[in-house]
Amino acid sequence: MPISELKLAKELIRRPSITPKDAGAINLLAKNLRSLGFKCQIINFKNIKNLYAKLGSSSPNFCYAGHTDVVPPGNESDWSVNPFKPAIKNNKLIGRGANDMKASIACFVAAVNKFKNKNKKFKGSISLLITGDEEGVAVNGTKRIVEYLKKKREKINFCIVGEPTNPNKLGEMIKIGRRGSITGRLTIIGTQGHVAYPHRANNPADTIIKILKKIKEINLDKGTKNFQPSNLEITKIDIDNHADNVIPGSANAVFNIRYNNKHSSGSLKKKLNNIFRSMTKKNKCKFNIRYEVSGEAFLTKPNKTTFMIQNTIKKITKIKPKLSTTGGTSDARFIRKIAPCLEFGLVGKTMHKIDESVPLSDLKKLTNIYLNILENYFK
């Protein structure tokens, strides 16, 4: 029985798989894939359910990667429909995950169904790498599956990540890399005291203001051919002080840097630590810094498969997609360690928003794009 992208997208949306809950989404997907002949491995890492499914066993292995987890819907009364009871309005499918990215997964499965019916003995294999941990901390999802596949010596020759890459129209943009992301949690330790006797204290607020001004003014770079300039943004400033006449003993701040491939997390840490060390010494304070690296900057050098996908998209949408590295991060940062990959999916305009939606026409087009990519790849 043919698999409809719309029907499967609705069924997936009905599973309220808010990270880290699976709510039956992975089992539903595995059931549909088994009906197409896929061998499905459901892999659990702690509280996260993941799936690696494969059709065929020979080379080359073309992989689709994605996630079934979604962000919380927010205030459900603000939605025009129940976010987990998908509905069609004005020729759009509305529901949490419609855009990011359950509908994209459904399109790929529907495309494989059509491809398999046309090409019963194709040379190669098709796989899906699906996680339930992309919207959260992303520790027990794709990162762990990639490690698992490496140990099993499972070869992936090319991977397409189905994230919603297009800003406004289907066909506008392919992601071929992403900037890195590092978060710094900085504490400046001074000496607490009475505000009337500042000479007996050392106010860490003064020092943290100077430090934040200094790091914000750093000109990291002017960008590259493939990447926009790196930027540092201060996201939190906090002094836990409940008295107005007390100079605090410590002050805290959080900042995030989105950086291109002119830098690494290591080079940025070194640069920042030198500033923290120098300025706290000058101001007779101490500092603690804790870094969290979400992923390093990476670029997948375009190859013949990249250009084939670009041309396939152009043929169907009449738009030549731009090869881009803009935006946040994705699970491609893990997959690129074992396979060349790019990202292409739906339009990202409504992702994470109230009344997240996708036009029904885009569902049909994306299924057709994925089908044509498979046909051209296995020619």
Show the DSSP H helices in the chain as ranges. Answer: 5-13, 25-35, 102-118, 142-151, 204-216, 265-282, 304-317, 332-335, 360-377
- For residues 125 and 66, give the distance between their C-alpha atoms in angstroms, rounded to a whole number: 18
Supply 218's token pair.
């750093």
Show the DSSP H helices in 172-251 as ranges. Answer: 204-216
Supply 273's token pair.
């630590």
- For residues 150 and 357, give the distance between their C-alpha atoms in angstroms, rounded to a whole number: 36
- For residues 266 and 169, give the distance between their C-alpha atoms in angstroms, rounded to a whole number: 37
Contact (CB, 8 A) for 22 and 12: no
Q: Which residue, 129, 134, 114, is CA-closest to 19? A: 134
**What's the CA angle centered on 171, arms 80 and 137, to 5 degrees?**
60
**What's the CA angle centered on 44, arms 38 and 47, to 5 degrees?**
140
- Helix then strand then coil, % of the chain, to nearest 5: 30, 25, 40
Per DSSP, what are the bridge partners of residue 8? none
Q: How far is CA 248 from CA 108, 201, 208, 243, 279, in A?
A: 56, 9, 12, 9, 18
Q: What residues act catalytically?
A: 69, 134
- For residues 27 and 5, give the distance between their C-alpha atoms in angstroms, rounded to a whole number: 17
Contact (CB, 8 A) for 142 and 75: no
